[in-house]
Chain A
Amino acid sequence: MSIVSPVPPPEVPGAAIEIPFGRGSASPGPLLFLGRAFLTLWSNRKARIGLVILGVDVLIAILAPLIAPHSPTATTFAPYQNPNGTNWFGTTGNGQDVFSQMVYGARISLLVGIAAGAAATIIAVTIGLIAGYRPGVIDEGLSFMTNLALVIPGLPLMFILAAYLQSRSVWTIVLVVAFTSWATGARVIRSQASTLRTREFVTSAVFSGERLLAVVFREILPNMTSLVAGSFFSAATAAVMAEASLEFLGLGDPSTVSWGTILYYAEQQNSLLTGQWVLVFAPGLAIALLAVSFTLINFGVDALSNPRLREKS
């Protein structure tokens, strides 16, 4: 018997594109991975809009000292000013420049959004993966915890936690938000992991001598990139909103400059009644835009773990 060697396959449209990390044996470097993820997201129109908004926010936050015309905390201006040539968005009741506060406030919102989103995602991935890959007692225990966290109403719990914790720093808010928003992601990741666990390529990996961690992190996790990214952006959206809510209700640190505290002082000083609508409108819009940008980016994450969709870009 003889084996007839196959004729080289014809040029398939997708095949013509060289996959950059295809040649190497190891998994791609983190930078390369992020770059590819960015390109994938960029190829989706909605996600592109989200990335642009997020990008502008990030730039503002980084370049805040250059953009802001005044110090955000200096009380050197006349209070209750309407927008004018010096104070573009007017001033607060304490005589601070609202525009500068808005610029610096971007730092807090982004920091809380990204840090709390990342923390919640790390908890969700860890718990979800372990529960999904280890059926039986471990799964049942972790699933019970997840369900418990799901039925406890998040916002009230957040208020209570924030009210009881002594330190009122931004990091407290990050922790509180992460602690109250990991459960949804964990549940989704658990069910996906338990589906992938029974797939033949995972069994094959075991036959290839892969150890537990390699199976979980090299075979299962990469196939859930879109779920992980999705749960990150959802958690980040929730975190941005939660941070603003906590600050607005005075449960944060009133001395930090953030979009939430601007709203808090606007409420305290009855800005809407005094006609200073910018004090409410500007931070409200900024918070909404940031949340919308995360949500829009979420539209593009589907393509992240599908090599077919990825190639279209």
Chain B
Amino acid sequence: MAALLEVEGVNVVYEPNRGQRIWSVRDVDLSLKQGEFVGLVGESGCGKSTLGFALTRMLRPPGRLENGAIRFDGVDISTLTGEKLRRMRRNGFAIVLQSGMNALNPVRSVEHHFGDILRAHAQDGENYSRAAIKRRGAELLGKVGLDAAVLSRFPHELSGGMRQRVSIALVLALEPKLIVFDEPTTALDVIVQKAVMQTIKDLQRENGFTAILISHDLGIVLEATDRVLVMYAGRVVEDQPSDDLVRGPHHPYTEALLKCYADPRADEIHLEGIPGVPPDLSLPQGGCSYAPRCPLAIDVCRKVDPPLAPLGQGLAACHVRAPAAGVAKT
């Protein structure tokens, strides 16, 4: 299948104050096939949400796409603006936010929200009557597991989980080919979290859209996705099919992330956190960003930033695990 999304050399820089530059996303390449469900994992501040925002062209100042190309369905969307960009959002790309459930307007009913989004993105010849909006709204709510009666409700009458489902249904209204889910369940209760994730998985399977799930929780990501990208300090450091990653993480960072999990039912439990803190992204990174926390680090790690090199079924950026040609070990 052809790639739906192709990203080459994307960099995102934040300039919160004059003279201060934070390299939030650095040299990210990735390629997503039609219908793939990919996870994007990393600690807070690693740039995963920023990358999600950049891919859906939702970045706002002080964040800025520095260079690189984002080809969506063959069109480079990285430089589109105004009306052209808006048109791409219909049948294009969309994002579901962690705070999406709080983005609903408290004084408008759910039906109103559907009306707004359907009319705003109506294509030539489309005319949404009240009945048509109701029909379409009920259908979309059905997809996310909500009753059509929710249409007449106001946001404050719905629970957090229901509101997040509504915000997903609103995104589905535009029939996007790519949906980025940015921590869609983090703000929800455990049991609700599980149910909403299940809905997202089912939707993706039935509708066949391409999805990116952004989360700090590797457990959630592994349960839902086909492939996982691990980000650290603004870079993708590992890219593997989910099943392979559970059995054999390549990058020492992924390995450490996996050690943060255990089955509470197991007889013996060993939990290990990751000591240390991620590097400051406003400083130039000499060598591998993970080297200061890495138990495997060797001399070259502190000098040369390892490129993403093929390893097994995927890619890894590690001098020790995936030595790339041309970088000599010392």
Chain A residues with a Cβ under 8 A of chain B: 4-7, 9-13, 312
Contacts and interface: CB of A to CB of B under 8 A. Distances in A.
A5 B275 contact: yes
Contacts of B293: 7
B283 interface: yes
B282 A7 contact: no
A12 B280 contact: yes
Q: Which 5 A-B pairs have the closest CB atoms?
A: A7-B276, A4-B275, A10-B280, A9-B277, A10-B279
Contacts of B276: 6-7
A137 B72 CA distance: 62
A11 B283 contact: yes
A6 B277 contact: yes
A9 B276 CA distance: 7
A12 to B, nearest CB: 6
A13 B20 contact: yes
Contacts of A13: 20, 280, 282
Nearest to A15: B280
Contact of A11 (B17, B20, B273, B280): B280
B68 interface: no
B310 interface: no
A66 to B, nearest CB: 41
B246 to A, nearest CB: 24
B323 interface: no
B156 to A, nearest CB: 20
23 contacts: A4-B273, A4-B275, A5-B275, A6-B275, A6-B276, A6-B277, A7-B275, A7-B276, A7-B277, A7-B292, A7-B293, A9-B277, A10-B277, A10-B279, A10-B280, A10-B283, A11-B280, A11-B283, A12-B280, A13-B20, A13-B280, A13-B282, A312-B17
Nearest to A7: B276
Contacts of A6: 275-277
Interface string B266-300: 00000001011101101100000000110000000
Given A10-B280, A12-B280, A13-B20, 13 more contacts: A4-B273, A4-B275, A6-B276, A6-B277, A7-B275, A7-B277, A7-B292, A9-B277, A10-B279, A10-B283, A11-B280, A13-B280, A312-B17
A4 B280 CA distance: 21
Interface string B15-26: 001001000000
Nearest to B280: A10
A5 B20 CA distance: 30
Nearest to B277: A9
Is chain A's interface secondary structure helix, strand, loop, or mixed overall?
A: loop
A13 B279 CA distance: 12
B50 to A, nearest CB: 18
Nearest to B18: A312
Contacts of A9: 277
Contacts of B277: 6-7, 9-10
B250 to A, nearest CB: 23
Contacts of A10: 277, 279-280, 283
Contacts of B17: 312
Interface string B247-278: 00000000000000000000000000101110
B258 to A, nearest CB: 17
A192 to B, nearest CB: 22
A252 B292 CA distance: 73
A7 B274 CA distance: 11
Contacts of B283: 10-11
Contacts of B280: 10-13
Contacts of A5: 275
Nearest to A10: B280
A269 B275 CA distance: 81
A306 to B, nearest CB: 14
A43 to B, nearest CB: 11
Contacts of A12: 280
Nearest to B19: A13
B131 to A, nearest CB: 44
Nearest to B271: A1
A44 to B, nearest CB: 14
A110 B273 CA distance: 61
Nearest to A311: B17
A118 B105 CA distance: 41
Chain B CB count within 10 A is highest, among A9, A12, A13, for A13
A34 to B, nearest CB: 25
A9 B293 CA distance: 11
A312 B277 CA distance: 24
B87 to A, nearest CB: 39
Chain B CB count within 10 A is highest, among A4, A5, A10, A312, for A10
A121 to B, nearest CB: 31
A6 B275 CA distance: 6
A312 B20 CA distance: 11
